[in-house]
Amino acid sequence: MSRAKNFARLPGFRDFPPEELVLRSHLFDAWRRVSRRYGFLEYDGPPLEELDLYTQKSGEEIVGQLYNFTDKGGREVSLRPEMTPSLARILGERSRAMPKPIRWFSIPQLFRYERQQRGRLREHFQWNVDLVGGPGVEADAEVLAVALDSLRALGLSSDDIRARISDRRLLSALLRECGVPSDSLDATYPVVDKVERESEERIRERLSGEVGLPPEVVDRVITLFQAPSLAAVADAFAHREEVAGPLAEVQEFIQILDDLGLAGFVEFDLTIVRGLAYYTGIVFEVFDRQGEHRAICGGGRYDSLLELVGGEPLPAVGFGMGDVVLSDLLIERGLAPEYRRQVDYFLVVIGEEQAGLARRLATSLRRSGHSALYGIRGQSVRKQFSAAANEGARQVIVLGPDEVSRGKAVLRDMVSGDEEEVTLQSLMGRDGAGEE
Amino acid sequence: MSRAKNFARLPGFRDFPPEELVLRSHLFDAWRRVSRRYGFLEYDGPPLEELDLYTQKSGEEIVGQLYNFTDKGGREVSLRPEMTPSLARILGERSRAMPKPIRWFSIPQLFRYERQQRGRLREHFQWNVDLVGGPGVEADAEVLAVALDSLRALGLSSDDIRARISDRRLLSALLRECGVPSDSLDATYPVVDKVERESEERIRERLSGEVGLPPEVVDRVITLFQAPSLAAVADAFAHREEVAGPLAEVQEFIQILDDLGLAGFVEFDLTIVRGLAYYTGIVFEVFDRQGEHRAICGGGRYDSLLELVGGEPLPAVGFGMGDVVLSDLLIERGLAPEYRRQVDYFLVVIGEEQAGLARRLATSLRRSGHSALYGIRGQSVRKQFSAAANEGARQVIVLGPDEVSRGKAVLRDMVSGDEEEVTLQSLMGRDGAGEE
């Protein structure tokens, strides 16, 4: 062993001491509880995968953002930057034998080598929910409902958050109706994605310069995004055959979310574009209404991915919801759980002669499902009470020679301060949450 | 995107589809439940740390077994092969402000680049339990009790498993009593570690050859290990001053485990040596009694580590228990939980007109804490019942036009096959486990 050295955690990584883990556990519990209400089953995959699994989906450009390396067996590997490729790989091996739809969720830790900024670390936990093998729009609605219901379960209402929804097929049909040629669509998406953040002048410049659209087409696209409500779009374009199909689907999607009690959260927003090569239908992002944070959640329909990594061609819809932005929002709104140390019983001994009894009582309490602690050998009674307070003991059992000789102990409620004498027998038989 | 390719997971890594995750969750639940009964608080740290954090504890030799690499910022980093260095680093920053003892646990995934063999993968999950700042032997006993109690909670009894315990100070005192010079102790430990697995002849050869002990010292060491029970050791050596202290401590350790109801699991075994540079007092390993598996759990007292990574000098005792060997053992003994898909309600609609009602009922059931699913649009009633069976629905609610027009539905118990007519009103108000 070499000499002492001070170590720090890597930049962009987090430690979770107990007082910080409590919020993470609170999120995970809500995510798991709501997933199960919607019939989703939990799975997990390895945090390390072949590098190709990620470049296959996202192209070589992604490598610059990965924690990738060559392992000792010469394999090119990467820490997972996202879960969907692992999901696709796992389902690729087994989905043919499984009844559809497949409803799976997971809570992986993900890794990206990114420049650090608020709400963006180099690792985060992300709840992934996917419904695979359900082609209809009710699958999309169920998946978004899981996301929104988890946020409701965490205390956020439709006053706090909103889901902005769109549809890739509808957007492309509308752009084509405006006169954008099919082979200019891919160049148009990133520009309209910025409609809310850039000036109209800049958008016009980009549409004519970068995309090369003629002035009358630019005018029509600008007009489209000036009144981007679903009603306005329906009024202007519902008679157009190419638009009618995806438009009806978005309308039905919103109707189903209304049945699911979530219409108040949902807003149609044509500017939601998301990943170009990946999504094939409805897309959505969930934001805080005040617009102070990055997206809480993003997802949509991706019908081509499973086939791409060697699986059965299967329609799929899913989302990812990270822990970082959501945690910030819950703290800001006073919705994070209070951290409180808590133990059911703390056994205080007056003399060392009661130490064995204290341990036997602790054992009995623990086996009936309670948490129980006892003091360190040789501690004064005062120190033992102070330890009990530190541990957040709800009740203290005081074992003194007189009481014990009569088969008794003193039980003190640490909240009320009330004391009562109880039999040792009754302490041995306390009912708890335990199964043993 | 490039063309489809078949991907496999990396060798030594596991996927956890839902039917396999269920056993892992069963372990994690038991570990968490028992940790809390003993007052331990959960923490977590990053899966990636500075490489030096591991070489500082274990020397440069460990690098050959690590998933280490240079990150994009030029840092030498490694996937964590064990949790204790991270624990020491985290406590190093904060322990001075914390009341002692500190009782913390974690369930990290750990990574080693090892040759693959049964019970040894390249990743595993390991429950880490540590009690820091408790110098007395009751701390050692509490920690081993947590380990054994979790195995009890998982259904294993003292007929299935045993904890072999020893003490580094006692072993070194006994070896010195036998005449082993202090500077030959480090060379002697690895030889006596093999006493049970190698022939007496081979042990003699190694003690005289490798270690260089004279024949009469070799004889005494061999005699010591021929009757290595605690009683035999006490008879032969209790009068020796150097032995008496550690011997009394081991005796008290066993007495405390008896108070904690666990003496039946514990056996004194001088051949338990464990990591040379690391442990400073009591050490233990838990095995299946039939000796068919590797150790389920190993740990002990390590009083120097925290200081080594730049923290406060603090006594500490802890263990690690992996998921792989334990899972194998539980499966072998029929103690693994059965995997069963299960959902509380499945809503079947006779016609598409009831689809909206089905969704509203599902919402209501979900908000009261139940799990509820409904069929895919356009599915026949037969297909919907078959989907309900696939999902493990306990009750099916059939929504037909006649019943619905009378404010009713048919509730079928899928286990008994019993059917009853119930009001839609009563379904909307079902009490569940939910808080909403």
List the single residue in B with minimal CA-CA distance to A89: B7
* B149 contacts in chain A (CB < 8 Å): 366
For B131-164, the pLDDT digits (tens) are 999 889 999 999 999 999 999 999 999 999 999 9
Looking at CA atoms only, how far is residue B73 from chain A in angstroms? 9
Locate tokens 């490489």: which residue? Answer: B51
d(CA A165, CA A267): 6
Tokens of B259: 């108070």
SS3 label, residue B256: helix
Give the residue extent of every domain in chain B: 18-332, 343-432
* B277 contacts in chain A (CB < 8 Å): 1
In one-letter notation, the amino acid at residue B343 is V
From start to end of B355-392, where are the E strands? 372-374
Sign of CA dihedral A133, A134, A139, A142: negative
Looking at CA atoms only, how far is residue B277 from chain A in angstroms? 8
d(CA A174, CA A195): 15
Locate tokens 């129980």: which residue? Answer: A372
The pLDDT, as a whole number, for residue B433 is: 54
Among B9, B343, B390, whose Cβ lies nearest the Cβ of A46? B9
What DSSP assignment string belongs to B172-213? HHHHHHTT--GGGHHHHHHHHTTTTTS-HHHHHHHHHHTS--
Cβ B125 vs Cβ B320: under 8 Å: no
Asked whether the predicted pLDDT for residue A412 surpasses 50, the reply is yes
d(CA B47, CA B66): 12
d(CA B138, CA B134): 8
Which residues, at least 6 apart from B1, have a Cβ–Cβ distance to it below 8 Å?
A56, A57, A59, A277, A308
Among B18, B36, B50, whose Cβ lies nearest the Cβ of A10? B50
Among A57, A123, A360, whose Cβ lies nearest the Cβ of B1? A57
Where would I find the H helices in B107-261? 137-153, 168-177, 185-192, 200-209, 215-226, 230-237, 241-259
Cβ B44 vs Cβ B80: under 8 Å: no
Do residue B7 and residue A373 have CB atoms under 8 angstroms apart? no
Mean pLDDT, consecutive 10-residue segments, chain B of 436 residues?
A: 69 96 98 98 98 89 93 95 94 91 97 74 96 93 98 97 95 95 92 88 94 95 87 89 93 96 94 77 95 93 81 90 96 95 96 95 95 90 95 97 96 95 89 55
List the single residue in B with minimal CA-CA distance to A368: B37
d(CA B352, CA A126): 36
* B72 contacts in chain A (CB < 8 Å): 64, 67, 113
Across the A/B interface, how many CB contacts are shorter than 8 Å? 251
SS3 label, residue A168: helix
For B370-408, the pLDDT digits (tens) are 999 998 888 999 999 999 999 999 999 999 999 999 999
Cβ A176 vs Cβ A184: under 8 Å: no
ipTM of this complex: 0.94
For A3-13, the pLDDT digits (tens) are 556 788 999 99
Task: Name the residue with higher pLDDT: B275 or A26.
Answer: A26
What DSSP assignment string belongs to A135-152? -SHHHHHHHHHHHHHHHH
Q: Which CATH class is domain A343-432?
A: alpha beta
Q: Which helix (H) or strand (E) covers residue A393, if one does? A: strand A393-399
pLDDT class for A93, splitting at 50, 70, 90?
confident
The CATH code that applies to domain A18-332 is 3.30.930.10
Cα dist. A189→A58, A180, A196, A207 in Å? 17, 11, 13, 10
Which residues, at least 6 apart from A293, have a Cβ–Cβ distance to it below 8 Å?
A119, A287, A325, A328, A329
End-to-end CA distance of chain B: 44
The pLDDT, as a whole number, for residue A11 is: 92
List the single residue in A with minimal CA-CA distance to B109: A47
Do residue A307 and residue B90 have CB atoms under 8 angstroms apart? no
Among B17, B341, B372, whose Cβ lies nearest the Cβ of A37? B372
Do residue B52 and residue A92 have CB atoms under 8 angstroms apart? no
The pLDDT, as a whole number, for residue A57 is: 79
Among A52, A90, A391, whose Cβ lies nearest the Cβ of B39? A391
Residue A173, phi then psi, degrees to nearest 5: -65, -45
Question: Residue A64: left (phi > 0), alpha (psi -120 to 50), or beta?
Answer: alpha
Do residue A92 and residue B44 have CB atoms under 8 angstroms apart? no
Among B13, B43, B75, whose Cβ lies nearest the Cβ of A17? B43
* B89 contacts in chain A (CB < 8 Å): 7-9
Do residue A42 and residue B256 have CB atoms under 8 angstroms apart? no
For A339-379, the pLDDT digits (tens) are 999 999 999 999 999 999 999 999 999 999 999 999 888 89
pLDDT class for A89, splitting at 50, 70, 90?
very high
Asked whether the predicted pLDDT for residue A2 surpasses 50, the reply is no
d(CA B363, CA B430): 11
Task: Name the residue with higher pLDDT: A56 or B395.
Answer: B395
| Overall pTM > 0.90 | yes
Q: What is the largest CA-CA distance in chain A?
A: 98
Do residue A10 and residue B109 have CB atoms under 8 angstroms apart? no
Looking at CA atoms only, how far is residue B116 from chain A in angstroms? 12
Do residue A10 and residue B92 have CB atoms under 8 angstroms apart? no
Neighbours of A313 (CB within 10 A): 11
* B5 contacts in chain A (CB < 8 Å): 52, 56, 309-310
Q: Exposed, middle or buried, A288 (CB in 10 Å: 0-12/13-18/19+)? A: buried
